[in-house]
Structure 1
Amino acid sequence: MSYLLRTLTKKQEVDELIRDTLDKVLVLRFGRASDLVCMQLDEILAKSAQELSKFASVALVDVDAEEIQVYVKYFDITIIPATIFFFNAQHMKMDSGTPDHTKWIGAFYRKQDFIDIVETIFRGAMKGKMIVMCPLPPERIPKFELLYRNI
């Protein structure tokens, strides 16, 4: 399904998309097209993209691309897939009860979960919020143990 969505491999492409996506939520999935969980997530993103097209744009970012490493480091992407949200070039955060509010780690359980999250981020952004509460029940939020090195 990843062939249905634009894949970015250059820092300049990501920069331009973040800068030029106005009045819409920009959804960037960082991962690999060959990864099983990424494939599952890409299918949900591709099926939702048309439905969300009035207020969201979706793109895939190849974490193995050399130029993308600056973003991989900046957003501390250690587990893939990681989905990051922007609105008018502002990084949108979401409190989902996990230690990391900067990104969604893993796939969504179903298409409607993804749609609900994008709608919540859009509504929050329209009210000037930079962080929103996750609309999903805790059992539908993937849990990951974050390992901190050098502590």
Structure 2
Amino acid sequence: MKLKEEIDRLIRDTIDKVLVLRFGRCSETDCLQLDRILDSSARDVSKFATVALVDIDSEEVQVYVKYFDITFLPSTVFFFNAHHMKLDSGTADHTKWVGKFHEKQDFIDVVEVIFRGAMKGKMIVHCPVPPERIPKYQLLYKDV
């Protein structure tokens, strides 16, 4: 997706399902690997999730890139009924999943935990992925 209006509509109109927004570039290896996992998982999560790919090079989506502080690619953001869902994965940033998933089942488990938590009214859930399979990165703070 390259248009802000498309993303806005998806966030607003995805009801009773987790909306998974992958921010990245189709030309980057990590994004392609994540996209393969997302694509192969689409059928497994179709009852409780919708997946969309967001091209961060589009000028229109920069408002989201800035808002979610997308500095590492790929980054995956989750919504449920237009509410931003947070994921405590033991990293400093709970607003998104940074990096790729190592296994298809890791992605499915994360989406399922977010869905179950959201159905109980939670806005943040604990990550079910073992710590050794959670991507590690160094947070960079711009203009600090």
TM-score, structure 1 as length reference: 0.94
**Paired residues for 1:61-140 under 5 Å:** 61-140=54-133
Equivalence for 1:141: 134
SS of residue in 1 equivalent to 2:32: helix
TM-score, structure 2 as length reference: 0.98
Deviations 1:64-99 (A, max 9, x none): 001000100010000110000000000000000000
Q: Does 1:57 align with 2:45?
A: no
Measured after TM superposition, the shift of residue 103 of structure 1 is: 0.3
Measured after TM superposition, the shift of residue 136 of structure 1 is: 1.0
Structure 1: distance between partners of 2:39 and 2:53: 10
Measured after TM superposition, the shift of residue 28 of structure 1 is: 0.3
Give the percent of matched residue pairs that are identical in Structure 1 and Structure 2.
71
Instruction: Kindly report the root-mean-square deviation, in angstroms, between the aligned alpha carbons of the 2 structures.
Output: 0.6
Amino acid corresponding to residue 107 of structure 1 in structure 2? K
- 5+ residue gaps, structure 2, are none
Deviations 1:93-137 (A, max 9, x none): 000000000000000000000000000000000000000000111
Measured after TM superposition, the shift of residue 142 of structure 1 is: 0.3
Equivalence for 1:40: 33
Amino acid corresponding to residue 94 of structure 2 in structure 1? H
Measured after TM superposition, the shift of residue 150 of structure 1 is: 3.7
After superposing on structure 2, the runs of 4+ consecutive aligned residues of structure 1 that deviate more than 2 Å are none
Structure 2: distance between partners of 1:51 and 1:115: 7
Measured after TM superposition, the shift of residue 51 of structure 1 is: 1.0
Structure 1: distance between partners of 2:66 and 2:33: 24
Amino acid corresponding to residue 8 of structure 2 in structure 1? D
